[in-house]
Amino acid sequence: MICYVPAESAPAEPRAALTPATAQALVKLGLTVQAAPGLGRASHYADEDYAKAGVSLVPDHAAALAAADIVLRVRKPPAADIARMKRGALHLSFLDPFNEKELLAAFAAAGVSAVSLEMIPRTTLAQKMDALSSQASLAGYAAVIEAAQRLRMALPMMMTPAGTIMAARVFVIGAGVAGLQAIATAKRLGARVEAFDTRPVVEEQVKSLGAKFVKIDLGETGQTAGGYAKALTPEQIAKQQAGMAKICAQSDIVITTAKVFGRPAPRLVTKAMLDGMKPGSVVVDIAVESGGNVESSRPGEDVVTPNGVTIIGHPCLEGTVAFHATQVLAANFAAWFTHFWDAQQKTLRLDPPDEILQGCLITRGGAVVHPQFAPKA
């Protein structure tokens, strides 16, 4: 089977779907691995290392696509690439399936089986292939580093002969995978950290990292069977905003990571809350690409409010640490292949009863087969 890894088509995407080390693992399984020359340039993996790992570097993108049985990517493909693929071929990448109806239809029309990394179940069995977690964790880390670089303050408390510098205050809103890593990073840098999440189970996790859990009584909240937050009512959001306004005003850095799976991110930090913040403070909106938690944030831009608050709307913070983001994403792919690989037949065994496959396979045999995205009869 030929597995081809093209260059990413989004111009600002520095990550790649494969490292030399994972390429070697795929070759060992029995796959023929091909990649675009320069695949790892932006994430600092050299062509010669891919070649040493057994990867053929193929400059003719159209021919490689047409010959491939499997295509691996970080982000969704351009529509023209789907049309060039073989019927029955497999495509794995992030797909943003809740917002990409036409893309899913294009995969179905081309007879390509599309796997969406976002839909891999968040279970213990699938942990090694959980690309949402591997990337979110690095995004949480990078959010703190970006904020610390913009903040004209030191993060740790310092006792000096010239007086005491107080520890910076960091408020993390949403303490899932990204938020917990942001908390851990800010604590390591010596900041005083507070956090809030609507899922009550998170309180212990926040405390175990040495941060303070902010209590806001929102009534019934909870989580879905899959562990995701439930959407709040407008009244609950208003209560949450009121409860958070004072903490934002006292904070030097606010990092927002709140998401509700399959829906736009909740708008949690309003203009009024930003107006109440200190000049020079920094807000990082990790949810900026899925709608944004912060009223004034814009994807790909830094916005400075009239009172001097910088809002960072970096759409892919994990891309700032692309070497490691690529390393763990490629490891997620390798784990997926290892799970589905039939070593005797040297092929993928994609059996429908497999719970991981049922979760992440969106199209197959010319149709959208995933129940959440299949057209309703």
Q: Which residues are catalytic?
A: 122, 127, 130, 133, 228
d(CA 293, CA 257) in angstroms, rounded, equals 8
d(CA 185, CA 240) in angstroms, rounded, equals 25
Q: Are 126 and 375 in contact (CB under 8 A)?
A: no
- Of 32-40, 74-82, 119-127, 305-313, which part binds ligand NAD (CB under 6 A)? 119-127
Choice between 127 and 347, CB closer to ligand NAD: 127
Q: Which residue reads 């009244």 in tokens?
A: 235
Q: Are 149 and 310 in contact (CB under 8 A)?
A: no
Site mask, ligand NAD, residues 344-363, x = CB under 6 A?
--------------------
- Chain positions 291 to 310 lying near ligand NAD, rule: CB under 6 A, are none
Give the chain's length: 377
Residue 136 binds ligand NAD, judged by CB under 6 A: yes
Q: Parallel, antiparallel, or unpaired for β 361-364 and 367-368?
A: antiparallel
Choice between 104 and 132, CB closer to ligand NAD: 132
Residue 245 binds ligand NAD, judged by CB under 6 A: no
Choice between 33 and 175, CB closer to ligand NAD: 175
- Chain positions 182 to 201 lying near ligand NAD, rule: CB under 6 A, are 196-199
| CA-wise closest residue to 79 among 49, 54, 114 | 114
Residue 174 binds ligand NAD, judged by CB under 6 A: yes
Residue 227 binds ligand NAD, judged by CB under 6 A: yes
Q: Parallel, antiparallel, or unpaired for β 282-285 and 310-312?
A: parallel
d(CA 295, CA 297) in angstroms, rounded, equals 6
Residue 131 binds ligand NAD, judged by CB under 6 A: no
- Of 34-42, 145-153, 185-193, 225-233, which part binds ligand NAD (CB under 6 A)? 225-233
Residue 143 binds ligand NAD, judged by CB under 6 A: no
- Of 17-25, 95-103, 171-179, 312-320, which part binds ligand NAD (CB under 6 A)? 171-179
Choice between 43 and 181, CB closer to ligand NAD: 181
Residue 124 binds ligand NAD, judged by CB under 6 A: yes
Q: Are 251 and 155 in contact (CB under 8 A)?
A: no
Shortest distance in whole angstroms from residue 123 CB to ligand NAD: 6
| CA-wise closest residue to 286 among 134, 146, 129 | 146
Residue 257 binds ligand NAD, judged by CB under 6 A: yes
160: its two tokens: 């000096």
Residue 266 binds ligand NAD, judged by CB under 6 A: yes
| CA-wise closest residue to 174 among 221, 233, 126, 235 | 221
Choice between 73 and 199, CB closer to ligand NAD: 199
Q: Which residues of 269-306 are buried (b: 16+ CB within 10 A; e: fewer)?
A: bbeebbeebeeebbbbbbbbebbbbbbbbeeeeebebe
Residue 285 binds ligand NAD, judged by CB under 6 A: no
Q: Measured at CB, which residue is nearest to ligand NAD?
A: 176
Residue 232 binds ligand NAD, judged by CB under 6 A: yes
Q: Are 61 and 4 in contact (CB under 8 A)?
A: no
Q: Residues in the site for ligand NAD, rule: CB under 6 A?
A: 122-124, 127, 130, 132-133, 136, 173-179, 196-199, 202, 227-229, 232, 240, 257-261, 266, 268
